Amino acid sequence: MALETDFIVIGSGIAGLRAAIEIAQAGARVTVFTKQKTDDSNTQYAQGGVAVVLSDDDNAELHEEDTLYAGAGLCDVEAVKTLVEGGTRYIQELIEWGTEFDREGGKLIFTKEAAHSRRRILHAHGDATGKEISRALIAKARQEKNISILPFTATEGLIVRDGHCCGVRYIDALLKAPREMFAKAVILCTGGAGQIYLHTTNPEVATGDGMAMAYFAGAEIADIEFVQFHPTVLSLENAPRFLLSEAMRGEGGILRNKYGERFMFNYHELGELAPRDVVSRSIVAEMKRTGTRTAFLDMTEKDEEFLKHRFPKIYETCKFYGLNIAKDLLPVSPAVHYFMGGMRTDLDGRSTVTGLYGAGEVTCTGVHGANRLASNSLLEGLVFGARAGAAALADSQKSKVESRKSADTDIGHWTLDIELSTAVKKRVKRVMWERVGIGRNADDLRRAIKEFEQIEQAKLGIASRNFVAVAKLVAQGALWREESRGGHYRDDFPERDDEHFQVHSIQKLGAEISTSEKINFVVD
């Protein structure tokens, strides 16, 4: 007999847990699938903070303007408005649920990050904001008797009948056996796909499975060519690519080249506080100009006790590798950090497949446009996670769980090869870094797509198939978009082209790349 629940949420980061809580509080049963431990998500690793309009000198219009500016003319205005206006409510709710943001004298502390016009970034325990939010949401979820969390459960695919998503296929964590679970609706909150690149700040679980599952289920994928490279990632041999928070530059950090020269004002009038894509390309250009593999982040003008308190995790990590952030120049170079594109949804998380919803980095709501504004990602997961949960509930009031065995799948013949092939992983990551990276061109992109097509001809397990599919989608979108905008930069088309490309790219299984309507608002 097939398993049943009312709603399925895939992913246990900020978006997934907030969606699950929204559903459970209405009295419905919800089952949360997560690939590893419950707290193993991109949310857990978010350092810098969460942007929200709560300080006295800030307002929604300013936050919206900053977001639109960073998005390089590709943000959807209504999505941005929804994010900013809803953010205040949901952050206050998080505080009520016990999230401990940093305070001074009882008042919340706000900091500033790149491209923000006000100090509106809340942080927790210095540089452990995501971890604190995750802790609070997990505690809240465990209080809800209608939420069941299944850790170490690998989702193989979505079950779609007559155009309606009604369940998932997965591997039972204990029995290592294939299973099906049916529900009124499925909400994807699986995070991004940073692991398809050789150098990334993302955890091992961020392999793009959700995007691939949505694509193979027939959902539209939008703007996936826009990939954000974080400018300042610790770059040491034999050390992991550890993110040095944007907030460090917000607190006065300076970027220097190997000669000790400050260089960012040679590339942009905002210097170190320019948008992330500009800072990343500037660092690459400066490394190329000086013949080095790193630039350096200089925090030495700040007091050591301040830095130790403000960035405790970064302080201790750097110390472990022999660096004192108050005294040493920190070697940095860019690495992949965030995907602006993903499964296309409306403002309530609905995808183009009935019964399939999504929230967070796996989706493309139009909030981030071509380049995410710093610290808007946690806010997006929170706001749209709640909205997706509410929409799934409202849309399914008269629905019943359809639990008969899948007509299109013989469960006995599923492959249990859900482990990502090491050979496929290595090849794809290197190709993506070398040919679909910070600087792109038609020749490299065509060669990348050809390599991915060759890999696809081999007999691949589920995880490997998904991994290659997402990489290929990024390369295809990047080849199609013959301009430079936000996180997408073409060496052979270095200018932004609003006349032809101020549109969202849409990719769908079995179809050529198409576009959405032209975006009707530009901030220059």
Task: Give the residue numbers marked as catalytic.
Answer: 276
C-alpha separations of 164 from 67, 304, 402, 508, 509 in Å: 34, 57, 11, 16, 16
Nearest to 82 by CA among 319, 355, 368, 371: 368
Residues 127, 125: Cα–Cα separation, whole Å:
6
Burial 450-472 (b: 16+ CB within 10 A, else e): ebbeebeeeebbbbbbbbbbbbb
What single-letter DSSP state applies at residue 491? T
3-state secondary structure 15-80: HHHHHHHHHHCCCCCEEEECCCCCCCCHHHHCCCCEECCCCCCCCHHHHHHHHHHHCCCCCCHHHH
Around 336, how many Cα atoms within 13 Å sit in the side-chain half-sphere? 28
Listed in sequence order, the residues at least 6 apart from 499 whose beta carbon sits closer than 8 Å to its beta carbon are none
Nearest to 509 by CA among 223, 216, 225: 216
Single-letter amino acid, residue 296? F
For 86, the enclosing helix (H) or strand (E) is helix 77-96
What single-letter DSSP state applies at residue 421? P
Single-letter amino acid, residue 211? M
